[in-house]
Amino acid sequence: MISKKSKQPKKSKRLASFSLAVMGAGFVATIPFQGSHLGNLLQGGFEAGLVGGLADWFAVTALFRHPLGVPIPHTALLPKNRQRITKALVSTLENDWLSKESIRSKIKQIHLTEKLLSVLEKEIYSDSVKRGAVSLIAQMIGHIPVEKVAPFVEKEIKSSVRSIEINAVLPFAIDQVLIREYDEKSFDYLLDKAEEWIKERDTKNQLGNLAIRVLDNIELDGFLRFALKSFQNLLNEEKLGSILQNLLLSVVSNLRQKDDPNRKALLLHVRKELQNIKDNKELLGEIENWKDHLIDRWEPAEKITEILQRAQQKALAFVQDGKFTDTYLLPFLTRLLNDLQKNPEKLHIIENWIQKQIIHLVEENHSKIGQLVQENLDKLDNETLIHMMENKIGTDLQWIRVNGAVCGFIIGILLTEIKALI
């Protein structure tokens, strides 16, 4: 289907041809009336109009093709000079109409931040913005390369742990143990475990068996040996185990008592040894080496990856939950917009940053404007390009032909009249 715009050049072209035909017909029709003043006057007008119309037809046609297909010099100007015209067009576009300076100046005149804030303020509660923001955040979370992040996290964790100095941490830990009485609590815990072990039936048998073997290995002479053998005959393995079991339970029970001297002595010894660790440089050095050795052998990357993947999935589920938008996202965006509107300095900083990024992008890709025009023009053959130009500017060109014929007619009449007067 031919559009209205494509019909206009054809209509004007028919009008131009009609004006030329009128001038030619008028010239022929006035030949029999030569001799009379009116006949000479009209014939002079039609003759000049025909010459003017033909001259303008030749000039307009010569822009695009050879008139009547005859290769007359300096005709078909557009096809012959296409490359030069294209380069001139691209150069004018890049260096004059869309130069870097003009684009840079225009960008600086546009207050992008204010326009963006105005749009966001109006559209922030729209469904499209909500969906877009949630989708953008979800994509950002989903595209985090967990496998690449894990080694970095591992490195940072190891570096942080390695930077911990044992000679600074251990004294503090010992002080906390003593202040919070962890030594006494640990001692009571050991007593509980010892009591559980002593009360077991197997323990009694083990103690009896151990006592019998010890007695058998004791080497005595004379009466002491006889007395020991008599004692062994009175007590068997089970009885000895029961006696030792009850004895150990009694010891444990006594050690549970807060006022028991043995308990106090043991705890005092433990505390002294803990205090001595603070000044034991050799032990601190060994612990430091042990720590570094463990860190070197520790490979938590796989576990860290699993943790990060679980965190990523939880974050995605949290963002995609309907409560996230109304509870967290929209209040955050509202506070951010209000803060920016109340702080002109921040707006100025953001505006400058946006302008710098756009200007930098334009400067890096400015040559692509001309390249794009060049590529689009190169895709067109001569016939298509000529047809396109005739459609765009053909109306004006055809009116040149009409004006040439009309002006020639008027000028011809004037010249004929002047000639008659002279």
* pLDDT tens column, 124-172: 788 888 888 889 899 999 888 888 888 889 888 888 888 888 888 888 8
Running DSSP on this structure, what letter comes out for residue 124? T
**Residues 286 and 397 reside in one and the same domain:** no
Co-location of 172 and 292 in the same domain: yes
Using only the alpha carbons of the chain, give its radius of gyration. 53
Give the separation between CA 422 and CA 75, rounded to whole angstroms.
39
H helical segments located in 218-300: 222-234, 237-256, 261-277, 281-297
Which of 50-59, 138-147, 318-327 shows the lowest mean pLDDT across its residues? Answer: 50-59
Q: Do 195 and 293 fall within a single domain?
A: yes
CB 138 within 8 Å of CB 316: yes
Residue 222 clears pLDDT 70, i.e. is over it: no
Q: Does 357 reside within a domain?
A: no
Q: What is the mean pLDDT of residues 377-390?
A: 69
Q: What is the pLDDT of residue 1?
A: 40
Q: Is residue 126 part of a domain?
A: no
Same domain, residue pair 175 and 54: no
Report, as an integer, the average pLDDT of 17-37: 77
Q: Higher-confidence residue: 183 or 227?
A: 183
Flag whether pLDDT at 76 surpasses 70.
no
The domain boundary residue, chosen from 297, 318, 346:
297
Average pLDDT rounded to a whole number, residues 308-312: 92
Task: Let me know if residue 56 belongs to a domain.
Answer: yes
The answer, yes or no, to whether residue 269 has pLDDT greater than 80, is yes
Average pLDDT score over the chain: 79
Average pLDDT in the 223-245 region?
A: 64
Judge if 171 and 278 occupy the same domain: yes
- Are 271 and 392 found together in one domain? no
More confident residue, 367 or 151: 151
Residue type, 310: R
Separation of alpha carbons 380 and 387, rounded Å: 10
**Residue where one domain finishes, among candidates 245, 272, 297:** 297
Number of structural domains found in the chain: 2
Inform me whether the pLDDT recorded for 275 exceeds 70: yes
Within-domain flag for 400: yes
pLDDT attached to residue 80: 67
Instruction: Give the mean pLDDT of 376-388.
Output: 70
Per-residue confidence (pLDDT) for residue 74, from 0 to 100 = 65
Confidence of residue 192 (pLDDT cuts 50, 70, 90): very high
Q: Give the pLDDT band of residue 395 (cuts 50, 70, 90).
A: low
pLDDT of residue 2: 42
- How crowded is residue 339: how many other Cβ atoms within 10 Å of its Cβ? 10
The verdict on 177 and 281 lying in the same domain is: yes
Non-local CB neighbours of 244 within 8 Å, separated by 6+ positions: 204, 207, 208, 211
The residues, any chain, with a CB within 8 Å of residue 332's CB and separated by 6 or more, are: none
Tell me, what's the pLDDT at 314?
93
pLDDT above 90: residue 104: no
User: What residues make up the domain containing 176?
Assistant: 166-297
pLDDT at 4: 46
Whether 325 is in a domain gets the answer no
Does residue 233 come out as left (phi exceeding 0), alpha (psi in the -120 to 50 range) or beta? alpha
Half-sphere exposure (CA, 13 Å, Cβ side) for 215?
21
> How many angstroms separate the Cα of 186 from the Cα of each of 179, 267, 355?
13, 10, 66
Among 174-178, 262-266, 268-272, 400-404, the minimum mean pLDDT is found in 400-404
The answer as to whether 112 is a domain residue is: no
Q: Which of 48, 112, 134, 96 is nearest to 327 (CA)?
A: 134
pLDDT on residue 306: 92
Is residue 292 located within the same domain as residue 179? Answer: yes
On whether residue 233 sits in a domain, the answer given is yes
Structural domain ending residue among the three candidates 248, 271, 297: 297
Map tokens 């960008």 to a residue. Answer: 107
- Per-residue pLDDT, 52: 79
Mean pLDDT within 300-311:
90
The residue written with tokens 């079991």 in the block is 245
Average pLDDT score over residue span 66-77: 68
Q: Is residue 49 part of a domain?
A: yes
Whole-number percent of the chain with pLDDT over 70:
81
**Residue 227: per-residue pLDDT:** 56
